[in-house]
Amino acid sequence: MDGQQQGMTSERLQMFVAGLSGLAADEVRKAKLLFLKNELSQLRALKTSYGGFGVAQGCFALIPFFWPILWAQRASMNAAVTMQTEQIRNALAVWRDDLGPEAAAIEAELNAL
């Protein structure tokens, strides 16, 4: 995409968790919830961007020469979405107890994407 950091890399997640030290339990819960909501927003934007790009790919799909390139692009796009979705699911699984009932709402929103 546009250089914006995507996904929850181990380094990014470690920095986030390190920044939570010293906060009250309620503040940690709010920060984790906000972090996951922001990741969901980023995933939604990624999927929207890829959807728009898919329209352009459709035009090139009329020419068989481009099929291998389009297949590779599509596979890469699907892998990026899958990776980000799994990273959100993993964080949600680890933080489920901390998030309480809000974890179910995050999971439902993720499933709706």
Nearest to 95 by CA among 45, 11, 39: 39
pLDDT in tens, 3-34: 445 667 788 888 888 888 889 999 999 999 99
For the residues 48-54, what does the mean pLDDT come to? 90
Give alpha helix (H) positions in the chain. 10-19, 25-60, 67-99, 102-112
Q: 58-89, pLDDT tens digit by residue?
A: 889 999 999 999 999 999 999 999 999 999 99
Q: What's the whole-model pTM score?
A: 0.83
C-alpha angle 81/104/13, rounded to 5°? 50
